[in-house]
Amino acid sequence: MLDLLDLNLNINENKVFKYFSEICTIPHGSGNMKKIADYCENFAQKHSLQYIRDNADNLIIYKSGCLGLENAKPIILQGHLDMVCQCDQGTVIDFEKDGLSIFCDGDFIKAKGTTLGGDNGIAVAYIMAILSSTDIPHPPIEAIFTTDEEIGLLGANALDTSVLKSKMMINLDSETDDVLTVSCAGGQDTVLTLPFTAKEKSGTVITITISGLLGGHSGVEIDKGRINANILMGRILNHLSTYDFDIISINGGTKRNAIPDSCVAEILVLDTASILKELENYSEILYLELKSRESGLSIEYKTVESTATCLCDNAKQKLLDLLNIVPNGIMEMSNEIEGLVETSLNLGVLETSENAVSLAFALRSNKKTAMDYLESRLISIAKTIGATAETSGFYPPWEYKENSPLRELYKKCYKEQNGSDIKVEAIHAGLECAVFSSTIKDLDCISVGPNMFDVHTPKEKLSISSTVGTFNLLLKVLKESVNL
């Protein structure tokens, strides 16, 4: 248990850290949900609260409104139960069985050698402190604890929302206390597959390696001007296409939602000296062009005499054309929210198999119609080039709501508490708000949370003062929400 007695916290604030400490003792990595769901179920039983636990281990816990507020409009408080499990090299832990070792470091709570799971354990702790209280004014509460958010919003997608009455929801999965999130992107994966007939040839094999790029998250960093290694490799090979060469393979990236920071291509040539000279010259041109954006860019090449299996000439040209024309990066910026990337895509994985080359894209948009149009563009490109297109992994966007009384209430309460305006923003990544807003008609939803840093890494830390401040702001919003 965290020792927070010297922080002069009141009983409900102490409860937040008490529950968070207990959560940290329970293994709750994504895909390992039973024990943490048991904990939540036992909590509901201990406090004589009605609850539902479904086959995905999601829980909905109901609490009536306080005296005099029994008939007020209900409100949903929501967070997810799973955490991302990462540890430092040398840290010995079995995330399937072991809890975390947490400690205070100044204003921060950290875990020894591992991720902390503040994302999203602090949301669960907030909600439990409210559900267990006897002196916090609030309307009827429908508390939702979802599972496996970090691996695809799986719990939220499996939840039957017909058992909910509320049309207002506060999601507690944000990580900056002076930002109010009001929209997020939806997404899907689209894979273009170009088949080829293999041919065997002998000559000089040149291995071209692009490395040292910044990479990053295809939602968070897509607007940072970072170079996609797969697209850059396509550019290099297209530049070399005035020379005679065959493609053996191209492979780059490991995750569709990550901007690839490296790519490796193997080509087979006969006129080795000419191509190497042109490759050297063009590499220098690219270094000069891109140095302000990608100072760590490295383009290396090595040669070996060999016999190799290559793409047939027709497939080679189609692949080069495909890499030259596929869209990548930002497609549209929002006219509603300043600075928001509205629609984008990322060629995250480029992979060569025995008889096909596949290009796997992550599509994102805060508007479903825009994402549908982007998908149709990729399908048209695939048809034109002789490739196939397959779509999977769709999750809906949470579109910006013009009229949001809950948003305006949170803004008002924040200013009253802090003396300044909160920033209202949208994100170009996924939140469970998107799932709930797609299944609950006319849902008025916001996402908030305390300051957390280096989330999903062993450096993760949660601000104690921000946790307290955000909790008290949440209580103020709950109290005043009865007037909405």
Question: Residues near 424 by Cβ (< 8 Å), separated by ≥ 6?
Answer: 179, 180, 182, 337, 407, 411
Phi, psi of 364 (to 5 degrees): -140, 145
Beta strands in 223-355, from DSSP E residues, in sequence order? 245-252, 258-259, 263-269, 298-311, 329-333, 341-352
443 within 8 A of 169, measured Cβ to Cβ: yes
Instruction: List the catalytic residue out of 119, 142, 148, 149.
Output: 149
Residue 82 catalytic? yes
Question: With 0-12 CB in 10 A as exposed, 13-18 as middle and 19+ as buried, what is 48?
Answer: exposed
Residue 22 catalytic? no
Instruction: List the catalytic residue out of 13, 57, 82, 119.
Output: 82
Per DSSP, 415 falls in state H
HEC-encoded secondary structure of 154-221? HHHHHCCHHHCCCCEEEECCCCCCCEEEEEECEEEEEEEEEECCEEEEEEEEEEEEEECCCCEECCCC
Biggest CA–CA distance in the chain, Å, is: 86
C-alpha torsion 211→213→214→215, nearest 10? -70
Catalytic residues: 82, 149
